[in-house]
Structure 1
Amino acid sequence: MTTTDLSPQEVARRALRAGIPLEAERLDLVTATANHIRRVIGTLRALDLDETAPAAVYDAAHLVGEGRNDAAV
């Protein structure tokens, strides 16, 4: 799925509509960030997860004692 990037003017309009004051010097950075987020979301939406079970179904009990029960990254 492809998404069209937002223009700085569109980002400024959306920020104004949301009641968020957006200073001109931050506009380019906010636009780049918003476009990146839109691309990531587009990629996630394109994933085929039809056969993926919900997270609540996952049982990690088999990992206990194997040294993999540490949540450190």
Structure 2
Amino acid sequence: MTAAELTPQEGARCALRAGLPLADDRLALVTATANHIQSVLGVLRELDFRQTPPAPVYQAGGPAGAAL
């Protein structure tokens, strides 16, 4: 699933709607950052987690009951 990239004008409208008006000199940077975040999220959405155990099963640092 590929989403269309956000344009600076769309980014300005979204920011204004959220109550965060942006100066013109920041629009390009904020839009590029938003597009990068969207691309990262797109990759994460494609990952298959069917074989990943739920978080309560995971034991960081070793087997259950191990002293830290």
Structure-2 residue corresponding to 1:48: 48
Matched residue, 1:6? 6
Deviation >6 Å, runs of 4+: none
Aligned length: 65
Q: CA deviation at 1:55?
A: 2.2
Identity of aligned residues (%): 59
> Which sits farther off after the overlay, 7-16 or 53-62?
53-62
Cα distance in 1 between the residues matched to 2:49 and 2:30? 31
- TM-score where L is the length of structure 1: 0.77
Matches within 5 A, 1:16-27: 16-27=16-27
Post-superposition shift, 1:32? Answer: 0.2
Determine which structure has greater relative contact order: mean sequence separation of CA pairs < 8 Å that are 6+ residues apart, divided by chain length.
1
Q: CA RMSD in A?
A: 1.8
Stretches of structure 1 that go unaligned for 5 or more consecutive residues are: none
